[in-house]
């Protein structure tokens, strides 16, 4: 059996790879195919080599798609290779082809200058990514405010509407940048990201769960609910009080904020009666692997206002050194406490 693992050479091979993914990610092929068409339209393949394929006698039997993203750290935007659509033909699963295609994808990602590789792993495959050197660096925080303590929020004249306003993309972007731009490893979202938000969240987040916040008629922020939890919230620099007031009306019962621990919107709620817990995920879930230790360490040193991380990686060229830096960030090494407030990535961030 002739086997070839490489970046796709033609768009025809990319098409065949997406067809494979639709069949693997069923069980409803037509729904999976429609989802792949939508996601490919939102993040078009700019070059065939963004699709890494395994070919067996000319047939595409394995696939990994690299998606260009960036995260903020220490004021820098670090280039990220998002890993998505990882699949192998059912007849060849558990034979090592998944590892082969992922190792090729990592090599391509590193060569094109990605500082990190990030994948949103599902529990069924959590063990796969750690074997490739990935480490869970996400966290799952919950700050809960009893309903009796919510009345202390400042009463600001605001209007809250459900759903996205198609004319407010620039305002959403401004609010997101003002709120998440200083949070370590939060995703940087380009201007083109926001007009496609509704399509990105199709089948993942009902439109009604996105709430737009207005003050004096102008959009000043938004928040996103999922079930009984607020999973994202943002406001312009001058609208922190408006966001606090909006969150106080997020729903009946206790208020649960599943936001990154360093999120500025949490500060006023921590002054009230509340409970807060954080569960870290070091062995699965949302996972990352450092590809450029020097650049990552330099940004980390800036983010932590110290040069110890940078000094430790001054000559870091191999994966072992990069892994050690990532373990320090996540808190796996040393005290068990993260060096930085880890991101609370949610369904909104998934590729």
In this structure, what CATH number is given to the domain that contains residue 200? Answer: 3.40.630.30
Specify the pLDDT at position 138: 82
Q: Rounded to an integer, what distance in angstroms lies between the CA atom of residue 151 and that of residue 153?
A: 5
Q: How long a stretch of residues is the chain? A: 351
The residue out of 257, 278, 299 marking a domain boundary is: 278
Regarding whether 126 and 19 lie in a shared domain, the answer is: yes
Question: Same domain, yes or no, for 130 and 16?
Answer: yes
**In-domain check, residue 80:** yes
In this structure, is residue 336 part of a structural domain?
no
pLDDT score of 175: 97
Q: Is residue 124 part of a domain?
A: yes
What is residue 289's three-state secondary structure?
A: strand
Half-sphere exposure of 121 (CA within 13 A, CB side): 26
* The pLDDT value given to residue 314: 46
Distance of CA 252 to the CA centre of its chain: 28
What totals of helices (H) and strands (E) does the chain contain, helices first?
Answer: 10, 14
Same domain, 244 and 290: no
Instruction: Please check whether residue 17 is in contact with residue 9, taking contact to mean a CB–CB distance below 8 angstroms.
Output: no
| Domain boundary pick from 215, 246, 278 | 278
CA-based R_g, the chain, Å: 21
Same domain? 27 vs 92: yes
Domain that holds residue 302: 3-138+281-330
In a domain, 198, yes or no: yes
Mark whether 110 and 217 lie in a shared domain.
Answer: no
Query: Do both 198 and 320 map to the same domain?
Result: no
Angle, helices 29-42 vs 11-24, to 10°: value is 140
Q: Quick one: 87 and 172 in the same domain?
A: no
Q: Where are the beta strands (DSSP E) in 170-274?
A: 210-215, 218-226, 229-235, 255-257
Specify whether 234 is located in the same domain as 198: yes
* Helices 319-330 + 293-303 axis angle, to 10: 20
Position 47 scores a pLDDT of: 83
Structure confidence at residue 228 (pLDDT)? 86
* Residue 351 included in any domain: no
Query: What confidence score (pLDDT) does residue 52 get?
Result: 94
128 within domain boundaries? yes
Domain match, 213 and 102 both: no
- pLDDT for position 326: 86
Query: How many structural domains compose the chain?
Result: 2
- Cis, bond preceding 186 (omega within 30 deg of 0): no
Whether 148 and 271 share a structural domain: yes
In a domain, 343, yes or no: no
Does residue 243 fall inside a structural domain? yes
Based on the domain organization, do 273 and 155 belong to the same domain? yes
What are the residue ranges in the chain where pLDDT is below 50?
A: 310-311, 314-315
- Are residues 259 and 168 both part of a single domain? yes
């Amino acid at each position: 059996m002739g086997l070839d693992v490489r970046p796709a050479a033609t768009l025809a091979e990319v098409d065949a790879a997406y067809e494979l993914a639709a069949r693997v990610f069923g069980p409803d092929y037509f729904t999976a195919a429609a989802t792949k068409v939508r996601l490919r339209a939102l993040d078009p393949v700019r070059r065939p080599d963004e699709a890494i394929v395994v070919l067996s006698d000319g047939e595409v039997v394995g696939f990994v798609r690299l998606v260009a993203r960036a995260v903020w750290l220490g004021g820098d935007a670090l280039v990220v290779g998002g890993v998505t659509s990882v699949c192998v033909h059912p007849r060849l699963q558990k034979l090592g082809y998944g590892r082969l295609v992922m190792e090729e994808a990592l090599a391509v990602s590193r060569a094109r200058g990605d500082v990190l590789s990030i994948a949103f792993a599902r529990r069924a495959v959590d063990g796969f990514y750690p074997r490739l050197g990935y480490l869970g660096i996400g966290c799952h925080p919950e700050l809960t405010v009893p309903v009796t303590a919510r009345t202390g929020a400042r009463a600001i004249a605001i209007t809250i509407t459900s759903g996205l306003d198609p004319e407010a993309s620039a305002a959403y972007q401004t609010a997101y940048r003002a709120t998440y731009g200083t949070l370590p490893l939060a995703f940087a979202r380009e201007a083109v990201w926001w007009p496609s938000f509704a399509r990105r969240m199709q089948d993942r987040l009902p439109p009604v769960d996105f709430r737009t916040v207005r003050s004096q008629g102008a959009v000043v922020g938004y928040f996103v609910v999922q079930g009984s939890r607020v999973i994202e919230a943002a406001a312009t620099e001058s609208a922190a009080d408006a966001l606090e007031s909006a969150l106080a009306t997020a729903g009946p019962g206790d208020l649960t904020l599943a936001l990154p621990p360093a999120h500025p919107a949490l500060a006023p709620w921590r002054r009230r009666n509340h409970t807060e817990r954080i569960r870290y995920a070091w062995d699965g879930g949302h996972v990352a692997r450092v590809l450029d230790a020097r650049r990552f360490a330099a940004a980390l040193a800036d983010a932590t206002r110290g040069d110890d991380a940078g000094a430790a990686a001054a000559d870091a060229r191999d994966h072992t050194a990069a892994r050690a830096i990532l373990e320090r960030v996540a808190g796996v090494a040393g005290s068990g406490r993260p060096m930085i407030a880890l991101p609370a990535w949610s369904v909104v961030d998934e590729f």
